């Protein structure tokens, strides 16, 4: 595991070649056991959230709406990954190849970076990432190393 993390971190050094930051490990929120309705207004310790109160998350796939914070955390709790993108800068269709049975892709016009990936207690921002120009491997590595790492991962 140490080798994989070291490779992932070095691949995401944030240089101009890929525009992605290092993977950030965030503290798990104390209220992460709390189940709420999807529309609940929650103040999370980070935005987008990586843990905290949650609702059942939708199934993996491509969404045309921004999921609520509780829905996002519900996706992460089961060990899936959320990829968010700024629709004014990035086309969701250009990221479609990254979607699998363990990834949710959604627009989020409130993002600062072009793309943000979240998994349970982990985040990676791609501020200057340009789809089709920059190396996709940091994004693919984030997904492959973070899937099934939530507190209630898929079984089977």
Per residue in 55-64, pLDDT tens? Answer: 999 999 999 9
Give the E-state strand segments of the chain in sequence order: 24-25, 61-62, 81-85, 103-107, 115-119, 122-126
- Range with the lowest mean pLDDT among 4-13, 75-84, 112-121? 4-13
Q: What is the pLDDT of residues 17-27, one digit of tens each?
A: 468 999 999 99
User: Taking the model in full, what pTM does it have?
Assistant: 0.86
pLDDT confidence of residue 129: 84
With beta carbons less than 8 A apart as the criterion, state whether 113 and 89 touch. no
Write the DSSP symbol of residue 98.
G
- To which residue do tokens 């993108």 refer? 85
Question: In 46-66, which positions are buried (b, 16+ CB within 10 angstroms) versus exposed (e)?
Answer: eebbbbbbbbebbebebbeeb
pLDDT above 90 coverage of the chain, percent: 72
* SS3 state of residue 64: coil
Of the two residues 136 and 125, the one the predictor is more confident about is 125
With beta carbons less than 8 A apart as the criterion, state whether 44 and 72 touch. no
């Amino acid at each position: 595991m140490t080798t994989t993390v070291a490779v992932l971190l070095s691949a995401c050094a944030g240089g101009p070649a890929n525009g992605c930051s290092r993977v950030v490990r965030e503290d798990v929120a104390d209220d992460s056991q709390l189940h709420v309705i999807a529309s609940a207004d929650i103040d999370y310790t980070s935005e987008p959230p990586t843990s905290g109160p949650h609702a059942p998350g939708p199934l993996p796939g491509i969404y045309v709406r921004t999921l609520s914070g509780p829905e996002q955390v519900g996706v992460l709790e089961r060990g899936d990954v959320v990829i968010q993108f700024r629709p004014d800068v990035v086309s969701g269709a250009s990221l479609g190849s990254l979607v699998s049975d363990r990834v949710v892709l959604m627009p989020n016009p409130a993002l600062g970076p072009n793309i943000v990936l979240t998994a349970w207690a982990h985040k990676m921002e791609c501020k200057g990432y340009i789809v089709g120009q920059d190396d996709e491997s940091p994004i693919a590595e984030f997904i492959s190393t973070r899937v099934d790492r939530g507190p209630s991962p898929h079984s089977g």
